[in-house]
Amino acid sequence: MSSSTSNVVAITGHGSFITLQSHVLAEERRHPEATGTLSWIISALAISAKTIAAKLKRARLEDVLGEIGSENVQGEQQQKLDVIANTVLLRVLQSRDGVAVLGSEENDELLHVDAEGGRHYSVMFDPLDGSSNLDVGGSVGTIFSIYRVAEGRGSTLLPGREQVAAGYVLYGSSTIFVMTSGSGVHMFVLDPSIGAFIRVAEHLQVPARGSTYSVNEANLASFPEGYQRFLAQCRDTGFSSRYAGAMVADVHRVLIKGGVFLYPPTAKAPNGKLRLMYEANPMAWLIEQAGGAASTGRGRILDVQPEELHQRVPVILGSRDTVADLMSCLA
């Protein structure tokens, strides 16, 4: 299919032709007190996503796959593309008015930026989630979470319920941008022929029940007993197992098709592996905004009081009723 034909499909297939930019501007108009700063930050994230998507496409050709030979603060081997994606986001976001604080999986500490007057925001992100998938051509993603920061409070980490926008970009068979700013979850697909994200779905809803679970089952023996009981129950009742090893890809499937995504505590990682500020919180808010549930196994993820940028938390996300079944096994 030629690229011009695929644009026609995008227009006729969805009735209207709304870009991410126009969607965000329309949302902004619904809030008369909005200054436009948040819209600019989201547009910076979209530009970063397009840049990262382009770099990923050429990674094998330009020999930028593989490890760089250094570790991040969490003792994980950094991939060359982790560093490239992080640099893209830092550069683009630092140049936007109103960005006062940046927190990245790839940086040890919060980065403070001299923001001009007006409203100030902090942006937390995982530049390239699931990057060990890169060597095998698998899906990876970018996750982001945005907070408003009060003057002089830039070092204060806020709980997830205070987010003002959150989302992810899935770099898979297409480049998909999913976001919420508190009025539902909306999905955009990059049309590479025009370089714009086009809205393909509004107000996504996670099905109330699903029959797929997504977990690294190799760790089963060291999960707390309630998780083991739940997973046994799933197997007995005909669930399927799907695990991409990239949270963005796994959560995207749950968002569209229902089911549950888990990263429980393990012997090796007693608080689970995933990080609260730039993995668990944004995904939890998206799933809740889509009618699903998000828990640490003990309480709502969005209510966890953060203590540090890279803190880890057990993660349960998915269909409302399926998560409720798991919670009763954990009780």
Compute φ and ψ for 38, nearest 5 degrees: -65, -40
Touching ligand AHM, residues 9-68 (CB under 6 A): none
β-bridge mates for residue 186, sequence order: 179
Q: Under DSSP, is residue 293 helix (H, G, I), strand (E, B) or coil?
A: strand
Please, are residues 284 and 301 in contact by the beta-carbon 8 Å criterion? yes
From 224, 245, 291, 306, residue interacting with ligand AHM (rule: CB under 6 A): 245
Burial bucket for residue 43 (CB in 10 Å: 0-12, 13-18, 19+): middle
Q: Which residues contact 210 (CB under 8 A, 6 or more apart)?
A: 254, 257, 258, 259, 260, 318, 319, 322
Q: Which of 130, 297, 314, 318 binds ligand AHM (CB under 6 A)?
A: 130
Residue 186 Cβ, how far from Mg ion at the closest point, in Å?
A: 23
129 near ligand AHM (CB under 6 A): yes
**Residue 204 CB neighbours (<10 A):** 18
Taking the C-alpha atoms of residue 265 and residue 135, their distance in angstroms, rounded to an integer, is 27
| DSSP of 179-224 | EESSS-EEEEEEETTTTEEEEEESS----SS-SEEE--GGGGGGS-
Assess 126 for contact with ligand AHM (CB under 6 A): yes
Q: Under the criterion CB under 6 A, does residue 131 sit at the interface with ligand AHM?
A: yes
Judged by CB, which is closer to ligand AHM: 199, or 252? 252
Asked whether position 76 contacts ligand AHM by CB under 6 A, the answer is yes
C-beta of 98 vs 127, nearer to Mg ion = 127
Q: Which stretch binds ligand AHM (CB under 6 A): 6-14, 156-164, 242-250, 289-297?
A: 242-250
In the shown chain, the binding pattern of residues 179 to 218 toward ligand AHM, with x for contact by CB under 6 A and - for none, equals -------------------------------------x--
Minimum separation from the CB atom of position 261 to ligand AHM (A): 8
Q: Binding partner of residue 120 among ligand AHM, Mg ion, none, CB under 5 to 8 Å per kind?
A: none
Shortest Å distance, C-beta 312 to Mg ion = 11
In the complex, which residues of this chain contact Mg ion (CB under 5 A)?
Answer: 126, 129
172 near ligand AHM, judged by CB under 6 A = no
Query: What is the token pair recorded at 208?
Result: 């109330």
* 246 near ligand AHM (CB under 6 A): yes
Q: Minimum distance from CB of 215 to ligand AHM (Å)?
A: 8
Q: Which amino acid is at 119?
A: R
The residues in 281-310 that bind ligand AHM, with binding defined as CB under 6 A, are none
Judged by CB under 6 A, the stretch of 147-155, 228-236, 241-249, 281-289 that binds ligand AHM is: 241-249
Residue 278: CB atoms within 10 A of its CB come to 25
Locate 44 and state its tokens.
Answer: 């910076």
Antiparallel, parallel or unpaired: β 196-201 and 185-191: antiparallel
Q: How many CB atoms lie within 10 A of CB 154?
A: 17
Query: Which chain residues interact with ligand AHM by CB under 6 A?
Result: 76, 105, 126, 129-131, 216, 245-247, 273
